[in-house]
Amino acid sequence: MKSYENKTGLTLVEMLIVVAIVVILTTMVIGLAGRIDNQSKEQLTKNTIGIITAALRQFRDFKYRYEAPIYAEFDFPLDCNDFLQPAIEMTMGNALGATVVISGGTPDISYSGAEVLYVFLSQLPECRKTLDRIDESLITNLGFDKQPRRITITYPSGSTKEYPLLRVIDPWGTTLKYDYYDEVFLDPRSRRTFPLITSAGPDKKFGNTDDISSRK
């Protein structure tokens, strides 16, 4: 009489199928989690850009007056994109009617405009209150070498104020870009009707389709 054994184990083919299914499901879950994370970051970026835009409107409505007549026609914070540090100190000093010294971490011209934007908006209490609504994780004063940067402003009266040289970054770690006018010529005729704030988006490169700006 023959006896038969029940085979309950998985064959190699069945095990490979199970592994493949697990891999596919894991990939789908990771992809979905990544999309949800990016959507959350995109919404945070849009909210942050909206806050800065609100502060810019307050700055314009206040009709901020620059000390140097050359800037009298400008309605918004000066756009100093890609300025070297000495040029930033000179430009801001002229505009504020003060001596400006920047110290600390190594500068990077790719975020010089954002630093200047934050300084000028901070000159007005209303704008400062609006900027306080930005998530703290998106505000930094670290230089290219990850060391803190500071700005010292000394007025003709002798009073001195020292602050962290802050700027706003997006959730992917790239500094938001501020565009107001043609910074090469500092020509009021080249200014925009309203400044543009732009995030480079997930790929961290400006000029691509994933950019997030105050225009969209």
Asked whether residue 17 carries a pLDDT value surpassing 60, the answer given is: yes
Instruction: Find the range with the poorest average confidence among 19-28, 40-49, 149-158.
Output: 19-28
User: Average pLDDT over the chain, rounded to whole?
Assistant: 89
As for how many domains the chain has, the answer is 1
Establish if 120 belongs to a structural domain: yes
Residues spanned by the domain of 148: 37-213
Establish if 42 belongs to a structural domain: yes
The owner of tokens 């790929």 is 203
Mean pLDDT computed over 131-156: 96
Asked whether residue 131 carries a pLDDT value surpassing 60, the answer given is: yes
Going by pLDDT thresholds of 50, 70 and 90, the confidence category of residue 7 is low
Give CA–CA dist 181/155, Å, rounded.
27
Asked whether residue 129 carries a pLDDT value surpassing 90, the answer given is: yes
Establish if 200 belongs to a structural domain: yes
Count of Cβ atoms closer than 10 Å to residue 190 Cβ:
13
Nearest CA to 132 out of 141, 143, 121, 142 is that of 121
96 and 68 in contact (C-beta within 8 Å)?
Answer: no
pTM of the model: 0.81
Mean pLDDT computed over 114-142: 96
Integer CA distances (angstroms), 215 to 130, 161, 194, 206, in order: 20, 35, 10, 14
Establish if 98 belongs to a structural domain: yes
Establish if 5 belongs to a structural domain: no
Count of Cβ atoms closer than 10 Å to residue 31 Cβ:
10
pLDDT at 3: 55
Establish if 17 belongs to a structural domain: no
Instruction: Find the range with the poorest average confidence among 34-48, 110-124, 165-179.
Output: 34-48
pLDDT at 6: 56
What secondary structure letter does DSSP report for 181?
A: S
Establish if 22 belongs to a structural domain: no
Going by pLDDT thresholds of 50, 70 and 90, the confidence category of residue 19 is confident
